[in-house]
Structure 1
Amino acid sequence: MLQQQILDILQAPAPTLAGFVAGPNASALEAVRALQPGTLLYVWGGPGSGRSHLLQARANLSEPGQPAGLFVPAAQAGQRLPALADVDTPLPAVLIAIDDVQHLGAAAQSALFGLINRWRTAMGTPGAFSLLCAGDCAPRMLALREDLRTRLAWGQVIRLQPLSDQDRALALQDQAAARGVPLGPELLQWILTHHDRDMGRLMALMDALDRYSLARHRAITLPLLKELLAHSAPRP
């Protein structure tokens, strides 16, 4: 029971734009936030760059008078994109976010090709919508069909720069300070050296550590963190 409770609180919270650690990517964050119907944006970066965080957060962002967007991970693209590409089927949202396009199979690539064509045809009409796509490399480098690579580059293309350890450290310190939690240099350095470098999971770890400390009535220390992680490790 204890292990499951720890695993539950270690799950990363729902991504938000406010929770995105921008670092050198402030312009990318603003471009995602400012997306309007009729625009196409492609963001790319390596693992842990925050591209999935941005897409999910923007899809979850409700605008006045508009429904939240629709987030489509690559694993679901083959089932969900064909209907979105069908011009006779009403779109469920004014923003469609498709993640990890580098993993799209042939059928999903064909559907995304059709969806981008639908986006372009609807541009400037009452049915206009925005497309937000993400991948692990620039459009021209994707191992996708050539006409799809070309269309992904029709809009703005932004590369997400990796966060430095200083960016991560400042973000963790800010979250700790907001909670009134002391975060010593030894603990901070251990986290950055040994734990997942994805900021969503790092923030989830800080949240879990805070709650674990309160539940155990113990100060936040490196031994307490190691105890938390030991409880959360899968059992053989």
Structure 2
Amino acid sequence: MQQLLLDVFTPPRPTLSNFLVGQNGQLVYELRELIQMKGTSPFVYIYGPSGCGKSHLLRGVASQLGVNVIAGGNRFVFKPGEQALVIDNIDRLTPYSQVQLFNAFNSSMAENKPGKIVLAGEHPTTELKLRDDLRTRIEAGLCLRVHPLSDQEKHAALQAMAKSRGLQLSEEVIEYALRYFQRDMGSLMAVMDGLDRFSLEQQKPVSVNLLRHWMKRRESLVIREYETRTV
């Protein structure tokens, strides 16, 4: 039970299916088309502020393409035999890695390897501090903004999730969660998942008092776990 409570903030494995779409219906459609090789372009760049769901989308795409997501801050070396390329935080690419990505675009256009390139960053291409020739390659594909969920959409999503689990969430509980927890949907869904399990363990309905009790218990378990590891 301790490990269960320690892990409650781990969001479920990101997929395109469990991404909360909101205003991003066209974006998700284009990513699905790209995966099935039906898209208008094999190159897609998605952008938006931190916490809007970019990494979730990239991991969902990468999983279906059978590749890993490359972190933009890590050293990237293009391998001509790669079948697909997925890179997050391209605004953090070093000059060397930018050259490697430029080479990947050229290889894809000439030899169709990698056949698909999916990238993500926080800013539109006009604001990216990248090489001009690389920016031109990125702009030749689809550049799509990821719209964050509004509080109203998050509210509706949490209610829908609760309903699917047979939970009754009061307005007070949802407002408390939106006020005091990380506001990205992955974290909020993980909180609801852990709270659901704690409610079953305690045999009590979900309430703000139960939420506070669960948080105090979790904090004490985290401290205990930390003390055990440092002894």
Aligned to 1:219: 205
The structure whose RCO (Cα within 8 Å, separation 6+) is larger is 1
Aligned to 2:87: 98
Rounded Cα–Cα distance in structure 2 between residues aligned with 1:102 and 1:227: 41
Helix, strand or coil at the partner of 2:7: helix
Work out whether residues 87 and 118 of structure 2, in 8 Å CA contact, stay in contact via their aligned partners in 1.
Answer: yes
Correspondence 1:1-236 to 2 at 5 A: 2=2, 4-36=3-35, 37=37, 39-61=42-64, 68-76=66-74, 78=75, 81-82=76-77, 85-87=78-80, 90-91=81-82, 94-123=83-112, 127=113, 129-233=115-219, 235=223
Post-superposition CA distance 1:63-90 (Å, at most 9, x none): xxxx5233212244x1xx31xx233xx2
Rounded Cα–Cα distance in structure 2 between residues aligned with 1:57 and 1:68: 10
Helix, strand or coil at the partner of 1:113: helix
Rounded Cα–Cα distance in structure 2 between residues aligned with 1:153 and 1:222: 47
Q: Which consecutive unaligned segments of at least 5 residues does structure 1 have?
A: 62-66
Post-superposition CA distance 1:189-213 (Å, at most 9, x none): 1111221111111111111111111
Rounded Cα–Cα distance in structure 2 between residues aligned with 1:205 and 1:217: 18
Rounded Cα–Cα distance in structure 2 between residues aligned with 1:28 and 1:232: 37
Rounded Cα–Cα distance in structure 2 between residues aligned with 1:229 and 1:144: 43
Helix, strand or coil at the partner of 2:189: helix
TM-score (normalised: structure 2): 0.87
Rounded Cα–Cα distance in structure 2 between residues aligned with 1:45 and 1:142: 12
Work out whether residues 140 and 150 of structure 1, in 8 Å CA contact, stay in contact via their aligned partners in 2.
Answer: no
TM-score (normalised: structure 1): 0.85
Work out whether residues 70 and 95 of structure 1, in 8 Å CA contact, stay in contact via their aligned partners in 2.
Answer: no
Q: Compute the displacement of 1:39 (Å).
A: 0.6
Q: Compute the displacement of 1:25 (Å).
A: 0.8
Work out whether residues 12 and 200 of structure 1, in 8 Å CA contact, stay in contact via their aligned partners in 2.
Answer: yes
Q: Compute the displacement of 1:217 (Å).
A: 2.1
Q: Which letter does structure 1 place at the counterpart of 2:86?
A: A
- Tell me: CA distance 1:109–1:183, structure 2 relative to 1, closer, same or farther (3 Å): same
Q: Compute the displacement of 1:160 (Å).
A: 1.1
| Identical-residue share of aligned pairs (%) | 33
Post-superposition CA distance 1:44-103 (Å, at most 9, x none): 000111111100011112xxxxx5233212244x1xx31xx233xx22xx4321111111
Aligned to 1:64: none
Rounded Cα–Cα distance in structure 2 between residues aligned with 1:208 and 1:150: 45
Work out whether residues 96 and 132 of structure 1, in 8 Å CA contact, stay in contact via their aligned partners in 2.
Answer: yes
| Count of matched residue pairs | 218
Work out whether residues 52 and 149 of structure 2, in 8 Å CA contact, stay in contact via their aligned partners in 1.
Answer: yes
Rounded Cα–Cα distance in structure 2 between residues aligned with 1:16 and 1:86: 26
